[in-house]
Each structure stands twice: as structure tokens, then as C-alpha cells.
Amino acid sequence: MRTGHFSPSRPSSPLHSSTTSNDSPSRHTFSQTLMEDTINEAGAIIKKWDLDTSSSTSYNRVANLFRDYREEALKFLDAVTNLQHGMHFVIKECSSSELLVQAQNLMQIAMKRLQKEMYTILSGNRYFLDSETLSTRSSRQSTRSSVSDEDEHDDEITNTEVSPRASEVEIVSELVMANLKAIADCMIGAGYGKECVKIYNLNRKSVIDETLYYLGVEKLTSSQIQKMDWEMLEKKTKNWLGSVKIAVSTLFHGEKILCDHVFSASDAIRETCFSEIARESAITLFAFPEMVAKYKKLSLEKMFTVLDLYNSISELWDEIELIFSFSSFEIVKSQAMASLVKLGEAARLMLSEFESAIQKDTSKAKAGGGVHPLTRYVMNYLVFLGDYSGAFAEIIGDLPLSVQSPLPESYFMSPIPDEDDSPSSAVSVKLAWLVLILLCKLDGKAQLYKDVSLSYLFLANNLNYVVSKVKKSNLKFLLGSDWLSKHEMKIRQYISNYERMGWNNVLTSLRRIQRRRCLRRKQENGFSNSIRVLKKHTEYRVHGLYPTRNSETKLRYHCLERLFRVIGSFTRSTGNH
């Protein structure tokens, strides 16, 4: 027997009793008769759909009231409402009467029926209550207002508004949600909210669990993660990256919309219900990135996996705060934030290791002055980092430069990005610093060449490669046009120095020949030797430079120009002897 939700009225005052004692018996008899009729009428409708007794037909016991008999369903809800009003009156007038016992028995019959209807609707309409359909439902339709009219369920079932362009699935979905809300409102109003929530939670929690399972989201422990080889962990990480947005924006968002709508009659029930069905799964979802961040075998190449994880949570943060706004979800948001923090720490550590690896590189300069493998590796790495400028800015923040350098302070001035909406200048400064470390390292390698001209060719080639990579990537916007202009000027200086130093051998040889007043054959041999030297240095200049269209064409032009000039000078000189 459930009587806890009824409140007996206060006893009448002596004054009120004395002034109404003359007509009290007749009024009581009339009111009692009226309530008996109300309860009996409600009982006739309720018993028609009784699940346990012979008062209902066998067909009615197995039929789906809200699916097959919508008008009867409306009458049933009205009967429950009238029964509840009658019970309030009986409690007020005579709490120990047999009529109250009868009414309470009828209420239990009605609640059993509504529990069965809610279970049937939830179980049989999963297709129409899928997360994708629910998540696209407008916020205007996802009402949060409580019941204020006893006939509200009438509007919910019969006057559900749907767009003229709505698909059949959306129309059915709206009707199903309206039925669930009407049942929930009725059961909560009758004091059976706990029973209603239990049925709802069991069904919808299984929906969340099954969806995450099919998305490939697993509940793993830290020890399991540490024992995995990287190939397996990378596979699970890629799967998580492909699932997290669906889980947050579609699954959890859709479930919150459904929960808000069905239990709009009670804010407390809405929060409790959504928390019970979603909290544990959400914690499992957001715990995975933190465990990856703590993986002991992280190397420099895994930086971009860490940044992908960080970026996914960061981009979804506004939705996370909106969907998990209840106080009972603080643990979920704390877990998501913990993952962000650990991922950021892992990324900063790998960035520091990357910087250190550049400085500690001991490989020799490439023969012939070509592009060094270190240059290719570092610039390809930085190009990828540039694509994560948003997450990168959040991670490095005000991270100080970790290496002291005797270079002028102007080297560390922030590059000026070309776009007003560029990421934080911290990213630009950090990237410029890493490029600077590379260039300093290359400068040291260039000094190992015995031929000074080749050292300049080496510097020109490598800096040209660096600038080319910057121009073709997002680094162009992060470092800015000013940075590019300064380093392109530096390339021209290197080329000029290389040309100047590289021609010394040729010019020295020609001057030596010019000073000799020997036979024509010796002059021809000397000329041939000079041409061979000239050809050697010309090939270095034309083919040794990192091949970009402008640089190669310009250098070839310079080589030919000098070649004709020297040959002409030499011919005129030898012709006079």
C-alpha cells in the first residue's frame, strides 16, 4: 500500500466546525457519493487493462495500450488522474474508509500497467529512439518545463507538433517521446517516480553500453595499456579518435535530450536519471587518453597521436560542459580535464626531447653540400606541428625557452603572423626557436667542409629547403612574411658567398696561365685544364643547389654569365700573345 505521497488536511478550526455543523452530514454524504462514483468510474477503465485478474480480457492483458489504442490510453491517464483526486478527498475526509483501500488497489493496478507500457515502448522503439535522431531534435522541442496542467498529457499525446517536412522516423519518434513523457508525468504525479525511473534507466543504460561497444570503446586498465605493444595501442587510439565525437555529440547528447523531455516534470529526477545511465560510460570514455599519455614507450614520432587525442577533447570541451552540466557529472569533467593535463605534459616532454635531439645530433655534413637528413627530419616534424597550432598553443602556453644561447636578442623576437586571427604568439616563437636551433646546428656542420665554398653551398641548400617547407605549409602563416623575407635574403647571401669563393680556383688558374708566355700548345692545354676546373665548379653550382625553380634558374644564369665573361677575357688575353 502506498500512502506516503498523500498529505492529510489540517483539522478544521472549532469556529469553522460550529458554523457548519448544521449541514455537515448531508454535505458529507453528497461529497462521498460523488467521490465513490468518480473512483468507480476510474476503476472500470483501469480494471479493463488489469494485467493480473480476469476483469480484463486476455487480449487486453497482452495488448500495447499506447501503440494500438491511443484514445483508450488517453482515457486511462485521465482515469488515473481522477482516481488520484478521489484518493486525496477520501484521505481528507475519512482516511480509514474502505473506499480508500479500494482506490489504493486500483492505483497499484494502474501503475503496474503503466510500468509495463513504459517497458514495452522503450524496448520496442529503439529504432525510433536512436541517438542520431534524438540529437538532431531542436532545443525548443526538448522542453524543461514541469507539468502545470492536469490535462497536459492530452496535449502531449494528441497534439505533438512535428515539422511538415519531418521524416516518418522523426514523426514516430516525436509520438513515442510524447507517450513516454505522459506515462512518466502520470507515475511521478502518483508517487511512483522511482519505479518509472528504474525501468527507464535499465533500458537506456543498455543502449549507451551497446552503442559504445559497437563504437569500439572499451573499459581498459592502466596496466593493460602498459602491456600493449604500440601497434595495438595505436589501433585502439585511432578507433577512439573516430568514436569520441559520435559518443559525445550524438550518443550522450541524444540521451540527455530524451531524458530531459521524458522527465521534464522533475529537475531532480532528470539529473538522477541521466547521471545513472551515462556517468560510468562517460568516465570510461575520457579515461582512455590519460592512460595513453602515461604510456612508458612514447617516442618523438608518437607526438602527433598525443596531439590528436588532446585536440579531440579540446574541440569537444564546450559540448562536454553543456551535456554534463549537472553537479553529479563533476567527476566526468574532472576526468576529461585530467586527460587534457596529462596529454599536455606528455607533449611538452616530447617537445623537449625533440629539441634536445637536434642539439645532440652528431651526423656529418653531406658530401657535395646537399640537404642534410637532419634538415629533412626536423622540417617535416615542424610542418606536422604547424597543423596542430590550436592544440599546440594551449599546450606550450608560456613555456620558456629551455636553452641559453649567445645569439643576439633579435633572434628571439616573435615572428609576426600574417593573419589577425592567428594562434597564440607562443606557437610562432617556439617554432622559430626550433628552426633557429636547427640552423645553428647546420652552421656547425658547415664548418667541417675543407672547401669553404662548399660550406656556403651546404648552408644555401639547407636554408633553401627550410624556407621551401615553410612556404608550402601552415608554418607560412605562423612564422609570417617578415620571417620569410629575412631568411630568403640569407639564402641570397650564402649563394653570393658560394659564387665568390667557388670561382677563386678558376680565376687563379686563368691568371697563372695569362702570366705564362709559353707556346700555343701549352696555352691550349692550360685552357683545357681551366675549362675542366670551370666545368667542375659550374656543376656544383647548378646541380648542387636544392632544386627550386627560381633558385636553379637564377644560379644557372649566373654561372653562364661568368663562364662567358671569363672565356672572353681569357681568349682576348691569349690572343695577344
- Each residue's pLDDT tens digit, 289-319: 999 999 988 889 999 999 999 999 999 999 9
Please tell me the distance from the alpha carbon of residue 486 to that of residue 479, in angstroms, as a whole number: 11
Mean pLDDT across 90-102: 74
- Each residue's pLDDT tens digit, 20-64: 344 444 445 566 677 778 888 888 898 888 887 665 556 666 678
pLDDT higher than 60, residue 545: no
- Each residue's pLDDT tens digit, 166-207: 678 888 899 999 999 999 999 999 999 999 999 999 999 999
- Residue 400 is predicted with a pLDDT of 58
Average pLDDT, the chain: 79
Tell me the DSSP string of 356-401: HHHHH--PPPPGGG---HHHHHHHHHHHHHHTTHHHHHHHHTTPPP
CA atoms lying within 13 Å on the CB side of residue 278: 29
For the whole model, what pTM was predicted? 0.78
Ramachandran bin of 369, using left for φ above 0, alpha for ψ from -120 to 50, beta for the remaining angles: left
- 277-283: long-range contacts, CB 8 A cutoff, minimum separation 24: 277/201, 277/204, 277/205, 277/208, 278/205, 278/208, 278/252, 278/324, 278/329, 279/328, 279/329, 279/331, 279/332, 281/208, 281/209, 281/212, 282/252, 282/324, 282/329, 282/332, 282/335, 283/331, 283/332, 283/335
Least confidently predicted of 89-98, 112-121, 474-483, 514-523: 514-523
- Residue 405 is predicted with a pLDDT of 47
Q: Determine the 3-state secondary structure of 64 from DSSP.
A: coil
Mean pLDDT across 324-336: 96
pLDDT higher than 50, residue 65: yes
pLDDT higher than 70, residue 410: no
Mean pLDDT across 491-515: 73
Please tell me the distance from the alpha carbon of residue 303 to that of residue 139, in angstroms, as a whole number: 39
In 3D space, the residue among 142, 120, 123, 12 whose CA is nearest the CA of residue 73 turns out to be 120
Least confidently predicted of 142-156, 526-540, 552-566: 142-156
- Give the list of residues 6+ apart from residue 410 with CB closer than 8 angstroms, or none: none
Mean pLDDT across 105-117: 93
- Residue 2 is predicted with a pLDDT of 43
Confidence of residue 282 (pLDDT cuts 50, 70, 90): very high
Mean pLDDT across 99-109: 87
- Residue 84 is predicted with a pLDDT of 87
- Give the list of residues 6+ apart from residue 281 with CB closer than 8 angstroms, or none: 208, 209, 212
- Each residue's pLDDT tens digit, 222-234: 999 999 999 999 9
pLDDT higher than 90, residue 322: yes
Confidence of residue 437 (pLDDT cuts 50, 70, 90): very high
pLDDT higher than 80, residue 101: yes
Mean pLDDT across 417-433: 70
Other CB atoms within a 10 A radius of the CB of residue 274 amount to 25
More confident residue, 509 or 557: 509
Please tell me the distance from the alpha carbon of residue 393 to that of residue 406, in angstroms, as a whole number: 27
